[in-house]
Chain A
Amino acid sequence: MPTSSRISRRDALTLFGGIASASALAACGVGGSGTPPSTTSVRIAFQNFADSTLLVKDQGTLERALPGHTVTWTAFDSGASINTAFLSGALDIAVIGSSPTAQAICPPLGIPYQVIELLNVIGSSEALVVRAGSGITALAELTGHKIATPFSSTAHYSLLAALDQAGVDPGGVTLVDLEPQNILAAWQRGDIDGAYVWTPTLSTLRRDGTTLIDSARLAEAGKPTMTFAVAHNDFIASHPDVVDAWLTATNDAITQIGRDPAVVAEAVHRQLGISGADALAQLDQNIYLDLDQQRGADYFGSTAAPGALADRLRDTAEFLFQQKKVDSVPELATFRAALRVPEVSDGS
Chain B
Amino acid sequence: MSAQFTKNALDEAAPARGWSREKRTRRDYRHWSGVFGGPLLGLVAVLALLAVWQLLALARIWPEQIVPPPTRVWEQLLVTTDPHNGQGGYAGATLWQRLAVSLRRVAYGSGYGIVIGVLLGLVMGLVPVVRVVVAPLVTFLRALPPLAYLSLLVIWFGIDEEPKVYLLMLAAFPPVAVATAAAVSGVNRQYVEAARALGARRRHVLGSVVLPAAAPEILTGVRLAVGVAYSSVVAAETVNGADGIGGMVLNAQRYNQTAVVLLGLFVIGITGLVIDALIVAVRRLLSPWRGRA
Residues of A within 8 A of B (CB): 1, 78, 80, 83-84, 87-88, 103, 108-109, 148, 151-152, 176-179, 181-182, 185-186, 189, 191-192, 323-325
Contact = CB atoms under 8 A, between A and B. Distances in A.
Contacts of A176: 159, 240, 242
B129 interface: no
B242 A83 contact: no
A173 to B, nearest CB: 13
A109 B64 CA distance: 9
Interface residues of B, number: 25
Chain B contact residues: over half helix, strand or loop, or mixed? loop
A192 B254 contact: no
Interface of B: 4, 62-66, 86-87, 91, 151, 154-155, 158-160, 239-240, 242, 247, 251, 253-257
A87 B65 contact: yes
Nearest to B152: A185
B158 A191 contact: yes
Contacts, number: 65
4 A-B pairs closest in CB distance? A80-B254, A191-B158, A186-B159, A324-B87
B245 to A, nearest CB: 15
B254 A178 contact: no
Given A87-B63, A186-B154, A186-B159, A151 B240 contact: no
B159 A192 contact: yes
Contacts of A189: 155, 158
Contact of B86 (A1, A87, A103, A324): A324
Contacts of B257: 325
B60 to A, nearest CB: 13
Contacts of B254: 78, 80, 151-152
Contacts of A324: 86-87, 91
A108 B251 contact: no
B159 A109 contact: no
B64 A108 contact: yes
B91 A182 contact: no
A189 B154 CA distance: 10
A87 B159 contact: no
Given A182-B159, A189-B158, A108 B65 contact: yes
B154 A177 contact: no
A185 B155 contact: yes
A186 B255 contact: no
A151 B251 contact: yes
B86 A109 contact: no
Given A109-B65, A151-B254, A186-B240, 17 more contacts: A1-B4, A78-B254, A80-B256, A87-B65, A103-B255, A103-B256, A108-B65, A152-B255, A176-B242, A177-B242, A177-B247, A178-B159, A182-B151, A182-B239, A185-B155, A185-B158, A186-B154
A148 B242 CA distance: 12
